[in-house]
């Protein structure tokens, strides 16, 4: 499990090798099927999903909310292998609601079982959803059989701070997301997914680079056409914010790294982790100014809690955008409350841990 500054989180990590850091596609393996399931299809003949999840799936389909909650296509875990000691992830095409009821359900099931005695053991026999995953996959950390475990891509934005030290963009998730409401997470982060169901598109989007650019512009500038694929033609690298970012990368002002893969042991879902390291302390201020002038200001998307909604956070929590570190990449505030397990999604802890292994 990950121990981030004393905060122990139920997630395992497979760090990238040094020679992989500069290749965002280093972990991307094969796409093992060529057809995206229908939006109302729970399982086809090739899949063996837990039948007890069907009613919950149908309920999600019936309660779809446009631009907020929908059954979008995903790249889901097929298998995780380690040729030459380097993590490689093969994926299958899936749907978000199926991931909710076959993978995320394992997390919720465990939380319910732990509620009467949080520090007590829970036998696998009392966790039927998790038992199904174990029985079908053997080791569900590396095998996606029996479920649709949507892969995610999470990026740590680590920027040099004015006056010394560093800041990490770390923000509470909103109350409108399907999972981990109000928990702190790194941004941008989102589901590894195609934009639509057309084969040429989903093969092009089977790319960490492409998904990072899409999440960057969608989550930091609230440009939702890169979340739901509303345009007949999308080329995210032509967007002005991405052009500026690429210029910064080419000039050495910033670097973009692949840092490894994490697997959340609660929901049994993998996440590809990356790092955007901004060395120029003036970058953030310039980026905000340029965005304002362009008419598309820096504005966190709906998945993230705005400061005006701080009152919705659990008691004792405060809204913060940035997690400050000193020159040695240690928290400026001892026992930083942003990192408490009750406030931090395990995936954020893993992404930060992997990022720090690169910069240190």
- Residue by residue, DSSP assigns 142-172 as TB-TTS--B-EEEEEEEEEPTTSSEEEEEEE
- Region of 289 (left: φ > 0; alpha: ψ -120 to 50; beta: rest) is alpha
pLDDT score, position 159: 96
pLDDT score, position 334: 78
Separation between Cα atoms, residue 339 and residue 278, nearest integer Å: 22
pLDDT score, position 200: 67
Instruction: Name 193's Cβ contacts closer than 8 Å, sequence gap at least 6.
Output: 72, 73, 74, 75, 96, 150, 205, 211
Alpha helices in the chain (DSSP H): 54-62, 96-99, 105-114, 128-137, 199-204, 208-221, 225-228, 240-251, 283-294, 346-359
Q: Which residue from 60, 255, 301 is spatially nearest to 157, judged by alpha carbons?
A: 255
Separation between Cα atoms, residue 199 and residue 31, nearest integer Å: 11
Look up the pTM and report it: 0.94
pLDDT score, position 299: 84
Separation between Cα atoms, residue 266 and residue 104, nearest integer Å: 8
Q: Per-residue pLDDT for 337 more than 90?
A: no
Q: Which residue from 91, 92, 84 is spatially nearest to 20, judged by alpha carbons?
A: 84
- Residue by residue, DSSP assigns 17-79 as PGGGTT-TTTTEEEE----PPPTT-S--TT----GGGHHHHHHHHHT-BTTTB---EEEEEEE
Overall average pLDDT of the 232-261 stretch? 89
Yes or no: say if 145 and 135 are a contact pair by the CB < 8 Å rule.
no
> pLDDT: is 236 or 95 the higher one?
95
Query: Residue 176 forms beta bridges with which residues?
Result: none
Count of structural domains, the chain: 1
Q: Per-residue pLDDT for 185 more than 70?
A: yes
Query: Residue 75 forms beta bridges with which residues?
Result: 93
Instruction: Name 247's Cβ contacts closer than 8 Å, sequence gap at least 6.
Output: none
Highest mean pLDDT among 5-14, 58-67, 193-202, 286-295: 5-14
Q: At what angle do helices 240-251 and 283-294 cross, to 10 degrees?
A: 150
Arithmetic mean of pLDDT over the chain: 91
**pLDDT for 24-83, tens place per residue?**
999 999 999 888 888 899 986 678 899 999 999 999 999 988 777 889 999 999 999 999
Query: Residue 65 forms beta bridges with which residues?
Result: 69
**pLDDT for 290-315, tens place per residue?**
877 777 888 888 898 988 888 898 88
In this prediction, what percent of the chain has a pLDDT beyond 90? Answer: 66
Q: Which residue from 359, 360, 346 is spatially nearest to 13, judged by alpha carbons?
A: 346
> pLDDT: is 257 or 338 the higher one?
257
Q: Per-residue pLDDT for 128 more than 90?
A: yes
Residue where the block lists tokens 């940035």: 322
Residue where the block lists tokens 């970012």: 245
Yes or no: say if 79 and 142 are a contact pair by the CB < 8 Å rule.
yes
Separation between Cα atoms, residue 198 and residue 154, nearest integer Å: 25
Yes or no: say if 202 and 95 are a contact pair by the CB < 8 Å rule.
no
Instruction: Name 72's Cβ contacts closer than 8 Å, sequence gap at least 6.
Output: 95, 96, 191, 193, 228
Confidence band (pLDDT; 50, 70, 90) for 107?
very high
Strands 254-264 and 269-278 turn out to be antiparallel
What are the tokens at 276? 């955007």
Separation between Cα atoms, residue 170 and residue 75, nearest integer Å: 25
Range of the domain at 41: 2-359
């Amino acid at each position: 499990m990950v121990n981030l500054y004393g905060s122990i989180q139920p997630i395992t990590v497979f760090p990238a090798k040094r020679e992989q850091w500069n290749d965002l596609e280093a972990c991307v393996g094969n796409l093992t099927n060529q057809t995206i399931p229908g939006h109302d299809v729970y399982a086809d003949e090739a899949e063996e999903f837990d039948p007890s999840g069907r009613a919950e799936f149908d309920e999600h389909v019936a309660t779809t909310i446009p631009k907020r909650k929908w059954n979008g296509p995903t790249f889901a875990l097929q298998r995780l292998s380690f040729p030459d000691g380097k993590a490689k992830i093969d994926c299958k095409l899936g749907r978000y609601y199926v991931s909710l009821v076959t993978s995320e359900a394992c997390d919720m099931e465990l939380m319910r079982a732990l509620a009467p005695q949080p520090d007590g053991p829970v036998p696998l026999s009392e966790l039927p959803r998790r038992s199904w995953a174990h029985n079908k996959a053997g080791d569900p950390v590396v095998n996606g059989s029996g479920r649709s475990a949507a892969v995610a891509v999470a990026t740590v934005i680590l920027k040099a701070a004015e006056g010394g030290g560093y800041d990490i963009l770390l923000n509470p998730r909103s109350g409108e997301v399907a999972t981990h409401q109000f928990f702190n997470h790194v941004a941008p982060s989102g589901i590894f997914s195609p934009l639509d169901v057309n084969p040429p598109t989903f093969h092009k989007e089977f790319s960490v680079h492409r998904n990072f650019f899409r999440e960057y512009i969608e989550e930091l500038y609230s440009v939702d056409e890169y979340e739901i694929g509303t345009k007949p033609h999308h080329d995210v690298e032509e967007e002005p914010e991405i052009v500026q970012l690429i210029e910064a990368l080419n000039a050495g002002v910033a670097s973009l790294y692949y840092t490894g893969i994490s697997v959340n042991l609660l929901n049994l879902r993998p996440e590809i982790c990356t790092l955007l390291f901004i060395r120029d302390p003036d970058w953030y201020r310039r980026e905000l100014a340029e965005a304002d002038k362009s008419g598309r200001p820096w504005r966190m998307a709906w998945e993230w809690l705005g400061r005006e909604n701080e009152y919705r956070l659990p008691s004792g929590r405060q809204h913060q955008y940035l997690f400050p570190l000193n020159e040695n990449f240690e928290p400026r505030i001892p026992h930083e409350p942003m990192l408490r397990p009750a406030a931090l999604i395990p995936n954020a802890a893993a992404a930060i841990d992997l990022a720090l292994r690169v910069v240190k």
